Amino acid sequence: MKVALVTGSSSGIGKAICEQLITHDYKVYGISRHSGEIICDLQDSKALHVKIKELLKTTDIDLLINCAGLGVFAPHEEISLDKIDELIDVNLKAPIILTNLCLRSLKKTKGHIINIASVEATKHSKFSALYTATKSGLRDFSLSLFEELRRSGVRVTSINPDMTKTAFFDKLNFEPSSKEDCHINPQDIAQAVMQIIHSPFVTTDITIRPQKLEITKKKI
């Protein structure tokens, strides 16, 4: 049985991916602050290091999916230093650390690393400078890492989803339109993950978008 390690496993895209992996006979270790096989705050690098090292003593990883992510969209001078630290830690630092910790195991299994970046990593939007910086960093980390790991047999993929209907938008002042052709569902991303995993070729970078763009502003 193959083993997957997935961050952000308790909701949204991460949860949908875990459900798909389980139906394909993966043993899934989910990392989340609130529930899952590994309960850990991704901002706590030392605790993350301890928990993953403990897992790796008895388990080899076939698939690492860095899915956890946070967003803030505001004038940059209005973003608190704590929020800046949080986004960098969760969106970029944690995936880099997890990859570092798991890479020897992934080389042994000739495994696969999938990083869930964002469409914002491929373009430039108003009030998205911090979020874009973290997701662009994750995407470029993925693309550079693939070049480093090609000879080892480890695959690396960056997935860049557009507006996806998840709890990501719960604390934001906007959300994707509920119209079917104006948003992506978490299950769509999960299905794309399975196609990428089972492909005989390596998909290094893929952007997934709804046909139309329509945003709903919330009343705050």
| C-alpha–C-alpha distance, residues 139 and 89, integer Å | 15
At 219, which amino acid appears? K
DSSP string for residues in 24-78? TT-EEEEEESSSSSEE--TT-HHHHHHHHHHHHTT---SEEEE-------S-GGG
CA distance readout (Å), 212 to 46, 138, 177, 209: 42, 26, 10, 8
Instruction: Give pLDDT, residue 166.
Output: 74
For 140, the 3-state DSSP assignment is: helix
Please work out, in degrees rounded to the nearest 5, the angle formed at the alpha carbon of residue 61 by the alpha carbons of 57 and 67: 120
Q: What is the chain's pLDDT, residue by residue, as a tens digit (220 residues)?
A: 999 999 999 889 999 999 999 999 999 999 988 777 899 999 999 999 999 999 999 999 999 999 999 999 999 999 999 999 999 999 999 999 999 999 999 999 999 999 999 999 999 999 999 999 999 999 999 999 999 999 999 999 999 999 888 777 777 776 777 788 878 899 999 999 999 999 999 999 999 998 988 777 777 6
pTM: 0.93
